[in-house]
Amino acid sequence: MRRQDREINDRKKIDDIICRSVVCRLGMSDGAEPYVVPMNFGYDGRFVYFHGAREGQKIDILRANPRVCLEFDIPGEFVVSDTACVWTMKYQSVIAHGVAEIADGPEEKRQGLSVVMAGVDPRAYTFPDEALENVCVLRVRIESISGKESL
């Protein structure tokens, strides 16, 4: 990391940023082309879970190359100056790399959907079998993670 003075090394602080983030940007590689999708998500400290359609460009890309990059951020505010190039911004962000897996069975899907819902609403939900058949649940096993902030 170029600006080591802004690096976050505390894993609890990194996890807190992830949990306070509203959107995760899922970055994938479609051959030579990057592809990024903003998604809502769930996080259990080990995996990041997503849900969506069972077919489409994202699923096609992940089947060909499951390596992904995740980005989470807490936007801050601009720090203004009279000089344009001296403006800056307060922020907190996390970048993670890992491998995306498609949850196969209904129990894996229920687990992933429960984590996604817990990030929004702490009530316990049930997921009917029909709903599970019509949804794709992805989980990303985090292999590396780093945080950065300017406050």
pLDDT digits (tens, 9 = 90+) for 63-103: 999 999 999 999 888 788 888 787 878 899 999 999 999 99
- The pLDDT of residue 124 is 84
- The pLDDT of residue 6 is 77
DSSP the chain: ---GGGEE--HHHHHHHHHH-S-EEEEEEETTEEEEEEE--EE-SSEEEEEE-SSSHHHHHHHH--EEEEEEEEEEEEE--SSGGG-EEEEEEEEEEEEEEE--SHHHHHHHHHHHHHTT--S-----HHHHHT-EEEEEEEEEEEEEEE-
- The pLDDT of residue 41 is 97
- The pLDDT of residue 7 is 86
What residues in the chain have per-residue pLDDT under 70? 1
Domains of the chain, each with CATH number or no CATH: 4-150 (2.30.110.10)
pTM, entire model: 0.90
